[in-house]
Amino acid sequence: QGLEGEQLAHYFSQAAGECPTVYSTRTGKSILTSDSDQKEAYKELQRLAAHCRGHLGIAWHYWRERLREPAEDSDDSDTSQELWLLDALAEAELPTDTGDLATLLLHTLLIHGGLEDHALKHVLPFSDHESLNARFALARRGMLSSQQGRWQVAPLSYASVRQLLESRNYLVDPL
Protein backbone atom coordinates (compact mmCIF):
# COMPACT_ATOMS: atom_id res chain seq x y z
CA GLN A 1 0.00 0.00 0.00
CA GLY A 2 1.39 3.37 -1.02
CA LEU A 3 2.05 6.22 1.35
CA GLU A 4 0.50 9.67 1.15
CA GLY A 5 1.81 13.08 2.24
CA GLU A 6 0.45 12.96 5.78
CA GLN A 7 1.97 9.52 6.37
CA LEU A 8 5.32 10.73 5.02
CA ALA A 9 5.20 13.72 7.38
CA HIS A 10 4.66 11.44 10.36
CA TYR A 11 7.39 9.03 9.22
CA PHE A 12 9.98 11.76 8.58
CA SER A 13 9.25 13.51 11.87
CA GLN A 14 9.54 10.25 13.84
CA ALA A 15 12.62 9.03 11.96
CA ALA A 16 14.51 12.18 12.94
CA GLY A 17 14.00 11.59 16.66
CA GLU A 18 13.65 15.27 17.51
CA CYS A 19 11.79 16.72 14.56
CA PRO A 20 13.61 19.66 12.94
CA THR A 21 11.68 22.42 11.20
CA VAL A 22 12.01 22.00 7.44
CA TYR A 23 11.29 24.92 5.09
CA SER A 24 10.71 25.01 1.35
CA THR A 25 13.36 26.88 -0.64
CA ARG A 26 10.64 27.73 -3.16
CA THR A 27 8.04 29.24 -0.82
CA GLY A 28 9.90 29.79 2.46
CA LYS A 29 7.01 28.13 4.29
CA SER A 30 7.46 25.27 6.73
CA ILE A 31 6.98 21.80 5.31
CA LEU A 32 7.65 19.78 8.43
CA THR A 33 7.55 20.88 12.07
CA SER A 34 7.12 19.11 15.37
CA ASP A 35 3.43 20.03 15.19
CA SER A 36 2.91 19.27 11.49
CA ASP A 37 -0.85 19.11 11.33
CA GLN A 38 -1.03 21.77 8.64
CA LYS A 39 -2.61 20.78 5.34
CA GLU A 40 -0.23 23.13 3.48
CA ALA A 41 2.76 21.15 4.77
CA TYR A 42 1.24 17.90 3.56
CA LYS A 43 0.79 19.30 0.06
CA GLU A 44 4.56 19.33 -0.59
CA LEU A 45 4.95 15.85 0.88
CA GLN A 46 1.95 14.67 -1.15
CA ARG A 47 3.81 15.75 -4.32
CA LEU A 48 6.82 13.74 -3.15
CA ALA A 49 4.65 10.70 -2.40
CA ALA A 50 3.03 10.92 -5.83
CA HIS A 51 6.38 11.26 -7.60
CA CYS A 52 7.70 8.20 -5.74
CA ARG A 53 4.44 6.33 -6.33
CA GLY A 54 3.99 5.81 -2.60
CA HIS A 55 7.25 3.89 -2.15
CA LEU A 56 8.66 4.79 1.26
CA GLY A 57 12.27 3.86 0.43
CA ILE A 58 12.35 5.95 -2.72
CA ALA A 59 10.66 8.88 -0.96
CA TRP A 60 13.24 8.66 1.83
CA HIS A 61 16.12 8.87 -0.69
CA TYR A 62 14.56 11.91 -2.40
CA TRP A 63 13.94 13.55 0.99
CA ARG A 64 17.55 12.99 2.12
CA GLU A 65 19.04 14.27 -1.15
CA ARG A 66 16.93 17.44 -1.10
CA LEU A 67 17.59 18.45 2.54
CA ARG A 68 20.09 21.24 3.17
CA GLU A 69 21.35 22.97 6.30
CA PRO A 70 20.97 26.76 6.58
CA ALA A 71 23.90 29.01 5.69
CA GLU A 72 26.69 28.92 8.28
CA ASP A 73 26.93 32.69 8.63
CA SER A 74 23.71 32.75 10.64
CA ASP A 75 24.37 33.57 14.31
CA ASP A 76 20.94 32.51 15.56
CA SER A 77 21.16 29.50 17.87
CA ASP A 78 17.63 28.42 16.89
CA THR A 79 18.80 27.49 13.39
CA SER A 80 20.45 24.30 14.67
CA GLN A 81 17.10 22.56 14.26
CA GLU A 82 16.28 24.12 10.87
CA LEU A 83 16.67 22.48 7.49
CA TRP A 84 15.71 23.55 3.98
CA LEU A 85 14.17 21.35 1.31
CA LEU A 86 15.32 22.06 -2.24
CA ASP A 87 12.47 22.59 -4.65
CA ALA A 88 13.79 20.21 -7.28
CA LEU A 89 16.40 17.54 -7.55
CA ALA A 90 18.26 16.68 -10.71
CA GLU A 91 17.44 13.09 -11.53
CA ALA A 92 19.49 10.81 -13.69
CA GLU A 93 17.82 10.95 -17.09
CA LEU A 94 17.76 8.19 -19.65
CA PRO A 95 18.42 9.23 -23.23
CA THR A 96 15.52 8.69 -25.61
CA ASP A 97 17.65 6.36 -27.70
CA THR A 98 18.25 3.90 -24.83
CA GLY A 99 18.71 0.55 -26.52
CA ASP A 100 16.78 -2.67 -26.04
CA LEU A 101 19.62 -4.30 -24.12
CA ALA A 102 19.79 -1.49 -21.54
CA THR A 103 16.00 -1.38 -21.27
CA LEU A 104 15.77 -5.13 -20.69
CA LEU A 105 18.61 -4.92 -18.15
CA LEU A 106 16.76 -2.21 -16.20
CA HIS A 107 13.55 -4.23 -16.30
CA THR A 108 15.38 -7.34 -15.11
CA LEU A 109 17.00 -5.50 -12.21
CA LEU A 110 13.62 -4.15 -11.10
CA ILE A 111 11.95 -7.55 -11.31
CA HIS A 112 14.70 -9.31 -9.36
CA GLY A 113 15.32 -6.48 -6.89
CA GLY A 114 18.91 -6.27 -8.13
CA LEU A 115 21.45 -8.82 -9.33
CA GLU A 116 25.17 -9.50 -9.18
CA ASP A 117 27.22 -9.32 -12.39
CA HIS A 118 27.64 -13.09 -12.66
CA ALA A 119 23.85 -13.60 -12.49
CA LEU A 120 23.16 -11.36 -15.49
CA LYS A 121 24.21 -14.05 -17.96
CA HIS A 122 21.61 -16.42 -16.50
CA VAL A 123 18.65 -14.06 -16.86
CA LEU A 124 19.45 -11.98 -19.96
CA PRO A 125 19.49 -13.31 -23.53
CA PHE A 126 22.78 -11.54 -24.29
CA SER A 127 26.45 -12.40 -23.97
CA ASP A 128 28.34 -11.62 -20.76
CA HIS A 129 30.25 -8.91 -22.59
CA GLU A 130 27.12 -7.16 -23.88
CA SER A 131 25.36 -7.32 -20.51
CA LEU A 132 28.36 -5.96 -18.61
CA ASN A 133 28.88 -3.14 -21.13
CA ALA A 134 25.24 -2.11 -20.75
CA ARG A 135 25.54 -2.29 -16.96
CA PHE A 136 28.73 -0.17 -16.99
CA ALA A 137 27.09 2.46 -19.23
CA LEU A 138 24.02 2.69 -16.98
CA ALA A 139 26.18 2.89 -13.85
CA ARG A 140 28.22 5.74 -15.38
CA ARG A 141 25.00 7.68 -15.99
CA GLY A 142 24.00 7.20 -12.35
CA MET A 143 21.06 4.95 -13.20
CA LEU A 144 22.38 2.02 -11.18
CA SER A 145 23.88 1.68 -7.73
CA SER A 146 25.75 -1.20 -6.17
CA GLN A 147 25.51 -2.50 -2.64
CA GLN A 148 27.75 -5.40 -1.68
CA GLY A 149 28.26 -6.35 -5.33
CA ARG A 150 24.54 -6.36 -6.10
CA TRP A 151 23.46 -3.93 -8.82
CA GLN A 152 20.04 -2.30 -8.69
CA VAL A 153 18.21 0.67 -10.15
CA ALA A 154 19.29 3.74 -8.17
CA PRO A 155 16.42 5.06 -6.03
CA LEU A 156 16.56 8.51 -7.63
CA SER A 157 16.36 6.91 -11.08
CA TYR A 158 13.27 4.83 -10.39
CA ALA A 159 10.77 7.35 -11.79
CA SER A 160 12.60 7.84 -15.10
CA VAL A 161 13.26 4.09 -15.49
CA ARG A 162 9.60 3.35 -14.85
CA GLN A 163 8.60 5.99 -17.41
CA LEU A 164 10.94 4.45 -20.01
CA LEU A 165 9.60 0.95 -19.39
CA GLU A 166 6.01 2.15 -19.62
CA SER A 167 6.73 3.98 -22.90
CA ARG A 168 8.11 0.72 -24.34
CA ASN A 169 5.03 -1.27 -23.22
CA TYR A 170 6.78 -3.22 -20.47
CA LEU A 171 4.58 -4.31 -17.59
CA VAL A 172 4.81 -1.77 -14.76
CA ASP A 173 2.89 -1.28 -11.54
CA PRO A 174 -0.55 0.32 -12.04
CA LEU A 175 -1.32 3.89 -11.06
Is the same domain home to 79 and 116? no
pLDDT at 12: 80
Report the Cα 50 to chain-centroid distance in Å. 12
- Check residue 173 and give its pLDDT: 74
Tell me what pLDDT residue 111 has.
92
Is residue 15 domain-shared with residue 56, that is, in the same domain?
A: yes
Does 158 lie in the same domain as 107?
yes
Q: What value does the mean pLDDT take over residues 70-79?
A: 59
Examine the fold and report which residue of 85, 120, 136 is the final residue of a domain before the chain moves on.
85
Let me know if residue 16 belongs to a domain: yes
Strands 82-85 and 115-116: unpaired
At residue 3, φ and ψ (nearest 5 deg) are: -90, 155
- Any idea what the CATH number is for the domain that residue 159 is in? 1.10.10.10
What integer best gives the mean pLDDT of the chain? 82
Same domain for 11 and 75, yes or no, is yes
Report residue 77: phi and psi, to 5°.
-75, -15
- State pLDDT tens for residues 111-165: 999 999 999 989 999 999 999 999 999 999 889 999 999 999 998 888 889 889 9
- pLDDT for position 102: 94
Q: Which of 29, 62, 85 is the last residue of a domain?
A: 85
**78 and 110 part of one domain:** no
174 inside domain: no
Per-residue confidence band for 81, with pLDDT thresholds at 50, 70 and 90? confident
90 part of a folded domain: no
Determine the pLDDT at residue 74. 54
b/e 14-47 (16+ beta carbons within 10 angstroms → b) = eeeeebbbbbbeeeeebbbbeebeeeebbebbbe
In a domain, residue 175? The reply is no
| pLDDT attached to residue 37 | 57
Together in a domain, 68 and 34: yes
In this structure, the answer to whether residues 132 and 65 fall within a common structural domain is no
Residues 54 and 108 in one domain: no
Q: Tell me the average pLDDT across 84-95.
A: 71
Report yes or no on 91 lying in a domain: no
Domain boundary residue, one of 51, 85, 119:
85
In a domain, 45, yes or no: yes
- 81 shares its domain with 10: yes
CA dihedral for 164, 166, 170, 175, sign (positive or negative): positive
pLDDT beyond 90 at 86: no
Does 74 or 4 have the greater pLDDT score? 4
Residue 136 lies in domain? 100-167
Rounded Cα–Cα distance for residues 21 and 75 (Å): 17
Task: Work out how many domains the chain is built from and give that number.
Answer: 2
